Amino acid sequence: MSQTVDLARVCAAQLKLMAFDVDGVLTDGTLWFTSAGDETKGFSSADGHGLKMLREGGVELAIITGRSSRAVELRAQNIGIGHVHQGVEDKRAVLLELASRLGIAPAQCGYMGDDVVDLPVLRACGFSATVPEAEPLVKRHVQYVASRPAGRGAVREVCEYILAAQGRLDALLARYLA
């Protein structure tokens, strides 16, 4: 195992707050608009279950995204994500303010993003992750690159990675094996 993987696991083990971008992370990045101008999004049920398990494992969840969409509000409610910040220009500032309000150190925060606009927040966290389709510069500046695609299991993979690093994954999965 490489030192990078070990460092990522050590950082993931300390997480108390994990935040996610939406377009290109929780979705495949495609923007769909109806003829009425409404934006729609498709979310993975596997990713949703991973997020629920991460929350059940004791990690606070947040969405911090540059766009605003009613679909994101509804998805966050469905999963139980209490911290939803949309239309954000400075994701780093929002994450650090949220962490401060929750009494969580930046080293105990994580973020999963996919584009260069996410670099400031990714670099401010203790744990950073991205998707395989991310911009090459982003991949060079994160600790973990998921093998599954955006909107199709990448978030689930990262959630399970964090839970495994914290020693909680097996206990959360045990109920399905009983």
Q: At what angle do helices 154-165 and 45-56 cross, to 10 degrees?
A: 20
Per DSSP (E only), the strands in 43-143 are: 60-64, 83-85, 109-112, 127-130
170 is in an annotated binding site: no
The token duo for 119 is 């670099």
Cα(114)–Cα(138) distance, integer angstroms: 7
Consult the annotation and say whether 21 binds a ligand: yes
| Amino acid code (one letter) for 65 | T
| Helix axes 169-177 and 45-56, enclosed angle (nearest 10) | 120
Q: Binding site for Mg(2+), residues?
A: 21, 114
Q: What are the binding residues for substrate? A: 23
Annotated binding-site ranges:
21, 23, 114
